[in-house]
Amino acid sequence: KKRKLQDDESATTDDARKRNPKAFSFQAVNKTSRIVHRALDKQTRKHHVPEVDRTPLEPPPSLVAVVGPPKCGKTTLIRSLVKHYTKQNVNQVKGPLTVVTGKNRR
């Protein structure tokens, strides 16, 4: 039964193509070729991704102290780092602050 239904569906699409060939053709050849070439470029880029060794030469520090005179942007720097790593805003920065950037790194 399933095969017969599939044959019937393919037969109806073939009939429709014979009756109205313009409905199943490309409207703009240049646009279609650009879309096809772009899709092929995306596929080839996935196969040729360069592997870059991004491991740092020395491990990152486990403690960072932000020190400076008043009104030089210490709080702004800390807020931007917290927002970048945790996607949350910090209203006031007072006292020590721990940011978890990974499972093993705080």
Are the CB atoms for 56 and 67 separated by under 8 Å?
no
Are the CB atoms for 85 and 99 separated by under 8 Å?
yes
pTM above 0.75, yes or no: no
| Residue 67 scores a pLDDT above 80 | yes
Which has more pLDDT, 82 or 9?
82
pLDDT, tens digit, 9 for 90 and up, residues 33-45: 999 999 999 988 8
CA distance 104 to 55: 16
The tokens for 11 are: 């037969």
* Mean pLDDT of the 49-71 span: 79
Instruction: Please state the φ and ψ torsions of residue 33, each to the nearest 5 degrees.
Output: -65, -40
Mean pLDDT over each residue of the chain, to the nearest integer: 78
